[in-house]
Amino acid sequence: MKLVSILKRVLAFVLLTNLMFVATLAKAQMNIEISGVGQSLFPIAVMRFTDESKLPLRVTDIVRSDLARSGAMRNVESGGAELGWDIKPDFRSWSARGADALAVGGVNKLSDGRYEIRYRLFDIRKSESLGGIVVTVTADDLRLAGHKIADDIIQKILGERGVFSTRLSYVIRSGKNNRLVISDSDGENAKPALSSNEPIISPVWSPDGRKVAYVSFESRKPVIYVHELATGRRVVLSNQKGNNSAPAWSPDGRALAIALSKDGNTQIYRINADGTGLRRLTRGYSIDTEPQWAPDGKSIYFTSDRGGSPQIYRMSTEGEGDGGAQRITFKLGFVTSPRISPDGKNLVYIARVGGAYRLHLQDLASGEVMALSDGNRDETPTFAANGRYVLFAARSGGKPVLMAVSIDGKNKQILSLPGADIREPAWGPFMD
């Protein structure tokens, strides 16, 4: 009976802690500062959707905010008037207001309590409809509806897939407490996935966006877990002797590359997603770590000090025995944290320049390198699903923040939570 009583108190404490964290997140507001967008932005008017005032939140506010963050769109003042999705706009009038595109929509509450949101986009210059989409969601997913509409606008106007409806994960540290958080791409709608008094590092999304693998020190040593987000269920992927670190999913989600020190120095291993089939891929006296699968599934990039200082290398997914490892980085003397763009064309990493650690991008075809940051303590870069942005942990004004930068370096955004130590970002995949 005494044991049962203790367990009840422990469970009550865990529940209270999680509830307090959810309440804290609900009050916290992610601040977003945008810079470097330039003047040549595409002007678009997003009108209030009809009957939108009946919703718990305004979907058009989400759409407008997303487009402003895109670095490519500029919201044209459209007033507070509502326009339905089935109207025929006065193209000449909207052109005179300076809009090149117009988005309109309407909201309908269904009998099952869900909301049907219709939107349509018009090309003002060509005086034609570009079509639209219908999104049906519960009240809890109204933000997602706005993100999907903004994604569709980006696709129709720019011809590339938007990433507003993707998700982020990151770690918030408060004293000794560490919390793995899942949020919308703008940092809003944050929800806790794990809370621990020990560090949580290296979160990485599965290709289908349903799971996150990460390293937790809750056992007083680094152990790799795979966490199912919908259910909260998690399993130990690797708890070998020594360090278990740096998980990276294969493109098909069937395996992960990890770094283990079970046999002495840290080396790269491959393991099935269910924890079986562990196989060593690198063999040497160097430290080989931070593996990253190429999008085509044929090779793995990793960090190694085999040349004297950390650099990025590439090998077959079958290991070094199949053709050895090829060095990829040459222009900077200390390079870590490789990440490959979704199209396989670009590599980003953190390089030490003087005493500063800064984000750089390398074109894999030409070998050309460009600094994407002028910071001093950049860490853990992660590509957006469309490859257009890189998110990373940094410091601004001496405070830990997340930064997003376009791959041309022109558009930069700072995401910060007042009073929060935010780190270890990972940008989730497209959710089809």
Tens-place pLDDT, residues 156-195: 999 999 999 999 999 999 888 999 999 999 999 999 999 9
Which tokens in the block code for residue 249?
């999913």
Indicate whether 39 and 178 sit together in one domain.
no
- Say which range, 16-25, 210-219, 393-402, has the weakest mean pLDDT: 16-25
Q: Quick count: other Cβ atoms within 10 Å of Cβ 57?
A: 12
Q: Quick count: other Cβ atoms within 10 Å of Cβ 26?
A: 11
Indicate whether 138 and 195 sit together in one domain.
no
The range of the structural domain enclosing residue 290 comes to 167-427
Predicted confidence band of residue 407 (pLDDT cuts 50, 70, 90): very high
Indicate whether 179 and 258 sit together in one domain.
yes
Indicate whether 257 and 381 sit together in one domain.
yes
The whole-number pLDDT of residue 420 equals 81
The whole-number pLDDT of residue 82 equals 67
| Number of domains forming the structure of the chain | 2
What is the chain's percent helix, strand, coil content, to nearest 5? 15, 45, 40
**CATH number, domain with residue 117:** 3.40.50.10070
Indicate whether 209 and 127 sit together in one domain.
no
Q: Looking at residues 137-152, what average pLDDT do you find?
A: 97
Residues ≥6 apart with Cβ < 8 Å to 9: none
The whole-number pLDDT of residue 40 equals 75
Indicate whether 121 and 233 sit together in one domain.
no
In a domain, 207, yes or no: yes
127: left (phi over 0), alpha (psi -120 to 50) or beta: left
Indicate whether 127 and 213 sit together in one domain.
no
| pLDDT exceeds cutoff 70 at 24 | no
The rounded percent of the chain whose pLDDT value lies above 90 is 80
| Domain end call among 91, 124, 158 | 158
Indicate whether 298 and 247 sit together in one domain.
yes
CA distance 63 to 66: 5
pLDDT, tens digit (0-9, with 9 covering 90-100), for 378-387:
999 999 999 9
